[in-house]
């Protein structure tokens, strides 16, 4: 399911939830009337006992408990869902879900929900030990596009367990780092103050905390706190100027601004390469016209993300390192090109083994934007026609885009001679 279709379905679901939520007076009502419809939108057959189970039994020795809802995958529990009536921030309910998660060794995700707000949990450091904080949470009555993108990764037709688990771990690590940074910004620790000070104050180099006066330390701590504030204000000012106050920040006057969507695309690519390559080798670089994702260095491109205009593209490289650009709606649709990216990475690894020389010039030096063609009428050999613009040729397939944003694909032999000549003359 593409992003636009899912977003439209979720907007309708929002209207449904607003009308039904006050009538759900029990946990059973929440599960039946509010939660199951969402998983149905995500492509799960909620009427199938082999795919979605309610009141799933958990054997805990002498006692037996039941999970409200379990999503099955290959005959094993994959997602455990606990449905509650009321505020899901109750610590007791989170503890209950954690207990269920621990007793379901095959489960990879735990969900706590009241049908309106959802919290997604996973394990990170210890298998089947659920983390205390969710890696993803949202409100179905106030969904943001970035949240829809993440939710789409759970869609049954494209759900990649390893990839989503990798995204979850990445988001949890990022949240931990963000919290540490916020803590240091609010109240710089002694270790952080000493780390900063040793770079430019001789009196702090090799000296113990006892050798520093309390007044000297507190003055420097206050200075670091102010410096943090100034850096944040400067960053916000640049972002505001670039984005003009509307939507995500984009580049302006040669300034590159790494948007949340670009970062989401980078994490999606890393998740897809989980188990294929050491993820620490996957690097990114924000260029003026695109966001480059590479292996080790810029000589080994994995893909390019063109996210600086309303029509987004992902650039994939073939065996000859020729770039082919595919239109996408959002960062999550990058996952549709998983096989191509894995093949590209494997090609780089094979070239390294055989000692093949790298390209004579970096493939990232090109700054050209994807060309946008005019809308025109295309005719097939059978006489039918379509008003659309040319996007590109991928193999033997011609891809076109209608004015409403949807795409159409035709084998070259199905298009008229005049259309094929137009492509040759205008590419």
Q: Classify 305 in phi/psi space as left (phi over 0), alpha (psi -120 to 50) or beta.
A: beta
Q: In the predicted model, what is the mean pLDDT of residues 90-110?
A: 91
Q: For residue 171, is pLDDT > 90? A: no
pLDDT value of position 98: 92
Q: In the predicted model, what is the mean pLDDT of residues 415-426?
A: 90
pLDDT value of position 406: 67
Q: For residue 245, is pLDDT > 50? A: no
pLDDT value of position 1: 66
Vertex 113: Cα angle to 107 and 115 (nearest 5): 125
pLDDT digits (tens, 9 = 90+) for 62-78: 677 899 999 998 889 99
pLDDT digits (tens, 9 = 90+) for 291-344: 999 988 778 899 999 988 778 889 988 777 778 888 888 887 888 888 889 989
Decide which of 311 and 22 is more confident. Answer: 22
Q: For residue 365, is pLDDT > 50? A: no
Q: List the alpha helices (DSSP H) in 256-385.
A: 260-272, 338-354
What mean pLDDT is reported for the chain? 80
pLDDT value of position 363: 43
pLDDT value of position 394: 62
pLDDT digits (tens, 9 = 90+) for 117-155: 999 998 877 888 898 888 889 999 998 887 887 888 888
Q: For residue 279, is pLDDT > 60? A: yes
The whole-angstrom separation of Cα 366 and Cα 409 is 28
Vertex 118: Cα angle to 67 and 94 (nearest 5): 50
Q: For residue 358, is pLDDT > 60? A: no
Q: In the predicted model, what is the mean pLDDT of residues 189-214?
A: 65
The whole-angstrom separation of Cα 209 and Cα 190 is 8
Q: For residue 206, is pLDDT > 60? A: no
Q: For residue 395, is pLDDT > 80? A: no
CB 265 within 8 A of CB 305: yes
pLDDT value of position 243: 42
The closest alpha carbon to 259, from 267, 250, 268, belongs to 250
Tokens found for residue 334: 């990058």
Candidate from 7-21, 156-170, 380-394 with smallest mean pLDDT: 156-170
pLDDT value of position 335: 83
pLDDT value of position 366: 45
pLDDT value of position 250: 33
Q: Is 159 strand, coil or helix?
A: coil
Decide which of 280 and 9 is more confident. Answer: 9
Decide which of 69 and 205 is more confident. Answer: 69
Q: What percent of the chain has pLDDT over 90?
A: 25
pLDDT value of position 67: 93
Q: In the predicted model, what is the mean pLDDT of residues 247-262?
A: 55
The whole-angstrom separation of Cα 355 and Cα 210 is 56
Decide which of 379 and 157 is more confident. Answer: 379
Decide which of 378 and 271 is more confident. Answer: 378
Q: List the alpha helices (DSSP H) in 277-337.
A: none
Residue 418: which pLDDT band, with cuts at 50, 70 and 90? very high
């Amino acid at each position: 399911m593409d992003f636009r279709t899912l977003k439209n379905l979720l907007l309708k679901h929002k209207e449904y939830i607003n009308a039904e939520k006050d009538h759900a007076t029990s946990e059973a009502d929440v599960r039946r009337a509010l939660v199951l419809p969402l998983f149905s939108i995500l492509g799960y057959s909620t009427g199938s006992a082999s795919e979605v189970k309610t009141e799933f039994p958990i054997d805990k020795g002498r006692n037996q408990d039941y999970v409200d809802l379990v999503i099955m995958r290959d005959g094993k529990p994959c997602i455990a869902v606990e449905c509650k009536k009321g505020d899901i921030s109750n610590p007791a309910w989170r503890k209950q879900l954690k207990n269920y998660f621990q007793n379901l060794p095959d489960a990879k995700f735990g969900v706590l929900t009241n049908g309106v707000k959802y919290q997604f949990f996973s394990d990170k450091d210890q298998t089947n030990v659920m983390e205390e904080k969710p890696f993803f949470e949202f409100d179905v009555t106030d969904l943001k596009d970035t949240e829809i993108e993440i939710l789409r990764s759970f869609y049954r037709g494209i759900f990649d367990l390893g990839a989503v688990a990798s995204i979850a771990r990445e988001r949890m690590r990022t949240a931990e780092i963000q919290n540490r940074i916020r803590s240091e910004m609010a109240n710089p620790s002694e270790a952080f103050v000493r780390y900063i000070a040793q770079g430019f104050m001789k009196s702090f180099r090799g000296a113990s905390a006892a050798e520093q006066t309390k007044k000297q330390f507190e003055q420097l701590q206050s200075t670091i706190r102010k410096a943090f504030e100034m850096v944040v204000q400067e960053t916000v000012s640049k972002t505001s100027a670039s984005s003009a106050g509307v939507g995500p920040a984009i580049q302006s006057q040669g300034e590159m601004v790494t948007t949340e969507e670009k970062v989401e695309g980078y994490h999606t690519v890393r998740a897809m390469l989980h188990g294929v390559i050491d993820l620490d080798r996957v690097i990114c670089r924000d260029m003026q016209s695109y966001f480059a994702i590479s292996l080790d260095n810029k000589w080994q491109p994995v893909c390019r993300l063109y996210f600086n205009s309303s029509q987004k593209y992902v650039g994939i490289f073939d065996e000859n390192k020729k770039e082919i650009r595919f239109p996408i709606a959002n960062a999550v649709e990058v996952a549709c090109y998983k096989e191509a990216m894995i093949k590209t990475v494997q090609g780089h690894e094979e070239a390294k083994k055989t000692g093949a020389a790298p390209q004579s010039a970096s493939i990232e030096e090109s700054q050209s934007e994807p060309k946008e063609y005019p809308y025109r009428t295309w005719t097939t050999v059978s006489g039918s026609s379509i008003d659309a613009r040319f996007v590109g040729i991928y193999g033997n397939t011609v891809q076109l885009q209608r004015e409403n944003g949807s795409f159409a694909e035709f084998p070259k032999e199905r298009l008229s001679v005049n259309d094929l000549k137009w492509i040759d003359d205008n590419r």
